[in-house]
Amino acid sequence: MPRLRLRFNSQPRPTIELTDTPDPKCLVCDGYGGWPEDYGHPETGEYAGTEWWDCTCWNPNRVRRLLPLPRWFARRAYDWGPPVYSDEPPF
Ligand SMILES: [Zn+2]
C-alpha cells in the first residue's frame, strides 16, 4: 500500500503533486527508501563507485501532477506558510 503525500511545487509553475514515499516501517530500508551499495570494476574488481538502490516499498518516480494552480492561489499558499519539500526560499 503506497503512502501518497501531497507536495506543493512552485517550479516551473505552481502545482500540487501527489508523490510516493518510503514505508517508514519498512524492514528492508528502515524507512530510508533505499541504500547505497559499492560496486567494483567488472575486470579489476577495484572500487568503481557507489550506486543508490531504491527499495521496492516505494517508487520515487511515481509523481502525479494533480492540478496546476492559479497564481493567486500560489500567493495565498505562501501566506499560509513556506512550501514543504521545496528548496526555494519563501518569497
Ligand atoms: Zn523499503
The alpha carbon of 60 and the centre of ligand 1 are apart by a number of angstroms equal to 11
Tell whether 85 is covered by a domain: no
Query: For residue 20, is pLDDT > 70?
Result: yes
In the prediction, which pLDDT does 36 show? Answer: 92
Mean pLDDT score across all residues of the chain: 80
- Residue where the block lists cell 509553475: 13
Tell whether 89 is covered by a domain: no
Closest CA to 31 of 4, 61, 58: 58
Range of the domain at 49: 3-80
Tell whether 74 is covered by a domain: yes
The alpha carbon of 16 and the centre of ligand 1 are apart by a number of angstroms equal to 25
pLDDT over 90 percentage in the chain: 32
Tell whether 86 is covered by a domain: no
Is residue 58 within 8 Å of residue 18, measured between CB atoms? no
Mean of the pLDDT values across residues 68-72? 76
Structural domain count of the chain: 1
pLDDT tens-digit readout, 42-62: 999 999 999 988 899 988 777
Tell whether 20 is covered by a domain: yes
Query: For residue 77, is pLDDT > 90?
Result: no
Tell whether 91 is covered by a domain: no
Whether a cis peptide bond, with omega within 30° of 0, leads into 2 is no
